[in-house]
Chain A
Amino acid sequence: MTGADNARAEFLKPAPLRTAVAVEMIDVNKWFGSFHVLRNIHLKVMGGERIVICGPSGSGKSTLIRCINGLEEHQRGRIIVDGVELTGDVKKIEEIRRDVGMVFQQFNLFPHLTVLENLTLAPIWVRRMPRRRAEEIARHYLQRVKIPEQADKYPAQLSGGQQQRVAIARALCMNPKIMLFDEPTSALDPEMVKEVLDVMIELARDGMTMIVVSHEMGFARQVADRMVFMDEGQIIEVNTPEAFFSNPQHERTRLFLSQILH
């Protein structure tokens, strides 16, 4: 057994889901004012599945995953996350958010807190975990994203790639059942993309249910169980990565792929 295997064996496994279906979206519709941003979205994500959502900007892919943890409110249809339906009920939304981690394009680390404090904030205040235990878990995840030595720095002292890895670790500290990634590498300098993707790939190997909005097609090929292509608020095509890349069915998909894979 190599050192890396040992390290991986140590990782905490994703928390088990209550239901076989992690996320179910049934006929979801949403408008921003009069702009119809999500149109009749049907999507079922099984536990342990990795979904990569792509599409041109403004196609509603970010809005779609932001609906899953209630950062955006949908106006029609149903969203059920691990057996809990998202309604206007704040308690339900907070329950879902506790179990659904999210990583943002702009990292959104808390600049007034150290890396370690960023990681322990939610476990202490939401999960009511003793500080000592929370810090132990936080250091474990920092190890996992390969920046254990940065625990006492402030986010502004880190590079973009390091910040995004801290953001991933922060989400993992809540021991989530599902992870949402909203263009996690789009704000990074090119040379830092790989270090973030590597962490995500390891997370996928551990069996985490992941919904990723990304244009990183290499990453998608490597980890996705299914590709979702969106355009103008609609899901245009859902397919396995092999079929999606080698034999796209919809004309719009072909056009999109020809534009990004040059």
Chain B
Amino acid sequence: MPSPQTPFVALIPIPPAPPPHGERGVFGWLRANLFCGPLNIALTLVCVLLILLAVPPMIKFLLLDAVWSGSDRNACLARPERPVVGACWAFVAERINFFVYGFYPIEERWRVDLFFAALAFGIGWLTWLDAPRRGLGMLYFFAVLPVISFVLLYGAPRLGLPIVETAKWGGILVTVVVAAVGIVVALPIGILLALGRRSSMPAVRLLSVIYIEFVRGVPLITVLFMASVMLPLFLPEVWSPDKLLRALIGVAMFSAAYLAEVVRAGLQATPRGQYEAAVALGLGYWKTMYLVILPQALKITIPNLVNSAIGLFKDTTLVFVVGIFDLLKTVEASRIDPKWATPVTSLTGYAFVGLFYFVGCYVMSRYARYVEARLARGEQR
């Protein structure tokens, strides 16, 4: 046994060896992650039990016992040869156009489809981080898209697009419009509020703080009631904006306050040296913000922005309290239709709404995770 003082020189290089047996493969993984220690085993068993309790009945109801076609309630009623009836997808299939477009005139619905396509294009451009000309994408999303959308959806008689009153809009269209306005209009306002809150001018700072804290201290439903009931009292009759617009203003005001706080966190996380380097080069305040600070701050803010978008997307259902026909409301109206009155109609309708929101939110959530992982890898761009 050599003493620690003995000089040592490595003579043979040690080749890499595989890890010991039992730490690799499926069993290794199971043992390491699911069955290490009594607490872990107990938790694993409880989870398996919960999954067994919840998932098979759900699959049975939604898929196996489901009715896929039919033209009225008879298709979804229990009969002697089929005592158990699952989800009545025939009902959703028949009403799908109503769920998507509301009362939007049938011959004009291509305009809504075009709007969905234009929106999807914009979202794709902005969320794909390596997309070319993302600056142009921002311009499209925050300046061009709102104009196109308005012209398409509301109409412009001069361009041969007859006007469609917002009272006729409904379903997914309204849900998407409310959510999109809540982001597209609210984000720029939120950025300005966040900058205002960090401004060196006390008056600007105070105003921003009052606005943000006031709106954040009030439930969305209150803001919506205020926008739809009180706004008309303040404005002259001729200006009286239509019902949907009032709700949109309310949603945008509300979400701007939340986004402001999200953006502020991003601004605070951007090192002060970035600001100093930019102004030391002679860039003014706005150019510094636009060229140097915001591109960095917004990037690290994306996961939180998406989280806010998820919250807002779900909150859009609240607009039904001021009498706007969003997706949930179209389902509410359809499920009590005598033509489809069966014990499973309501359940199916709600399941459809639930799926719609779940898919939307899950996609957003996955995207946020992806961006987070990318940022964590130290992506510096």
Nearest Cβ in chain A — how far from B29, in angstroms? 34
Within 8 A of B (CB), among A93-121: 94, 97-98, 100-102, 104, 106, 108-112, 121
Question: Is B279 close to A, CB under 8 A?
Answer: yes
Q: Please pick, from A101, A154, A167, the residue contacting B381 in the complex, using a CB distance under 8 A.
A: A154
Nearest Cβ in chain B — how far from A218, in angstroms? 27
Q: Please pick, from A97, A101, A111, A125, the residue contacting B279 in the complex, using a CB distance under 8 A.
A: A97
Question: Is A171 close to B, CB under 8 A?
Answer: yes
Tell me whether B281 and A122 are in contact (CB under 8 A): yes
Question: Is A71 close to B, CB under 8 A?
Answer: yes
Residue of A with least CB distance to B284: A94
Residues of B within 8 A of A71 (CB): 276, 279-280
What's the Cα separation between A149 and B280 when bound, in Å? 26
Question: Is A174 close to B, CB under 8 A?
Answer: yes
What's the Cα separation between A170 and B203 when bound, in Å? 36
Residue of B with least CB distance to A98: B282
Question: Is B277 close to A, CB under 8 A?
Answer: yes
Question: Is B205 close to A, CB under 8 A?
Answer: no
What's the Cα separation between A108 and B282 when bound, in Å? 15
Question: Is B292 close to A, CB under 8 A?
Answer: yes
Q: Given that A108-B276, A109-B277, A112-B299 are known contacts, is A154 also in contact with B282, CB under 8 Å in the complex?
A: no
Tell me whether B282 and A97 are in contact (CB under 8 A): yes
Tell me whether A112 and B296 are in contact (CB under 8 A): yes
Residue of A with least CB distance to B380: A156
Q: Please pick, from A104, A155, A174, the residue contacting B380 in the complex, using a CB distance under 8 A.
A: A155
Q: Please pick, from A110, A112, A126, A157, the residue contacting B277 in the complex, using a CB distance under 8 A.
A: A110
Tell me whether B273 and A69 are in contact (CB under 8 A): no
Within 8 A of A (CB), among B265-291: 271, 273-274, 276-284, 287, 291
Interface residues on B, range: 20 to 34
Q: Please pick, from A69, A106, A112, the residue contacting B280 in the complex, using a CB distance under 8 A.
A: A69
Tell me whether A121 and B281 are in contact (CB under 8 A): yes
Tell me whether A112 and B295 are in contact (CB under 8 A): yes
Question: Is B15 close to A, CB under 8 A?
Answer: no
Residue of A with least CB distance to B296: A112
Residues of B within 8 A of A108 (CB): 271, 273-274, 276-277
Residues of A within 8 A of B284 (CB): 90, 94
Residues of B within 8 A of A98 (CB): 281-282
Q: Please pick, from B279, B295, B296, B378, the residue contacting A156 in the complex, using a CB distance under 8 A.
A: B378
Nearest Cβ in chain A — how far from B228, in angstroms? 42
Q: Which of B284, B287, B378 has the most CB of A within 10 A?
A: B284
Q: Given that A111-B380, A112-B381 are known contacts, is A97 also in contact with B281, CB under 8 Å in the complex?
A: yes
Tell me whether A170 and B273 are in contact (CB under 8 A): no
What's the Cα separation between A90 and B282 when bound, in Å? 11
Residue of B with least CB distance to A109: B277
Q: Please pick, from A101, A104, A125, A154, the residue contacting B283 in the complex, using a CB distance under 8 A.
A: A125
Over the window 206-232 of chain B, the binary record of Cβ atoms lying under 8 Å from chain A Cβ atoms (1 yes, 0 no) is: 000000000000000000000000000
Nearest Cβ in chain B — how far from A179, in angstroms? 11
Residues of A within 8 A of B287 (CB): 125-126
Nearest Cβ in chain A — how far from B265, in angstroms? 18
Tell me whether A154 and B281 are in contact (CB under 8 A): no
Residues of A within 8 A of B274 (CB): 108, 110
Nearest Cβ in chain B — how far from A151, in angstroms? 16
Residue of A with least CB distance to B272: A108
What's the Cα separation between A166 and B283 when bound, in Å? 18
Within 8 A of B (CB), among A56-86: 69, 71
Residues of A within 8 A of B280 (CB): 69, 71, 97, 100-102
Nearest Cβ in chain B — how far from A220, in angstroms? 23
Nearest Cβ in chain B — how far from A65, in angstroms? 11
Residue of A with least CB distance to B274: A108
Nearest Cβ in chain B — how far from A110, in angstroms? 6
Q: Please pick, from B282, B292, B299, B378, the residue contacting A110 in the complex, using a CB distance under 8 A.
A: B292
What's the Cα separation between A125 and B285 when bound, in Å? 12
Tell me whether B281 and A171 are in contact (CB under 8 A): yes
Q: Given that A71-B276, A104-B276, A154-B381 are known contacts, is A111 also in contact with B296, CB under 8 Å in the complex?
A: yes
What's the Cα separation between A154 and B287 when bound, in Å? 21
Nearest Cβ in chain A — how far from B301, in angstroms? 13
Within 8 A of B (CB), among A139-168: 154-157, 167
Q: Given that A125-B291, A156-B380 are known contacts, is A104 also in contact with B273, CB under 8 Å in the complex?
A: yes
Residues of B within 8 A of A167 (CB): 277
Q: Which of B273, B281, B295, B380 has the most CB of A within 10 A?
A: B281
Residue of A with least CB distance to B299: A112
Residue of B with least CB distance to A117: B291
What's the Cα separation between A155 and B277 when bound, in Å? 14
Nearest Cβ in chain B — how far from A32, in angstroms? 15
What's the Cα separation between A1 and B294 when bound, in Å? 49
Tell me whether B281 and A112 are in contact (CB under 8 A): no
Residue of B with least CB distance to A121: B291
Residues of A within 8 A of B283 (CB): 121-122, 125-126
What's the Cα separation between A106 and B272 when bound, in Å? 11
Q: Given that A111-B380, A125-B291, A154-B380 are known contacts, is A94 also in contact with B282, CB under 8 Å in the complex?
A: yes
Residues of B within 8 A of A94 (CB): 282, 284
What's the Cα separation between A174 and B278 when bound, in Å? 12
Q: List 18 A-B contacts (CB under 8 A).
A: A71-B279, A71-B280, A97-B279, A102-B277, A106-B273, A108-B273, A108-B277, A110-B274, A110-B296, A111-B380, A111-B381, A122-B282, A122-B283, A126-B283, A155-B380, A167-B277, A170-B281, A171-B281
- Please list the residues of chain B having a beta carbon within 8 angstroms of any beta carbon in chain A: 271, 273-274, 276-284, 287, 291-292, 295-296, 299, 378, 380-381
4 more A-B residue pairs beyond the given contacts A71-B276, A111-B381, A122-B283, with a C-beta to C-beta distance below 8 A: A97-B282, A104-B277, A108-B276, A154-B380
The 3 nearest A-B residue pairs measured at CB: A108-B277, A98-B282, A156-B380
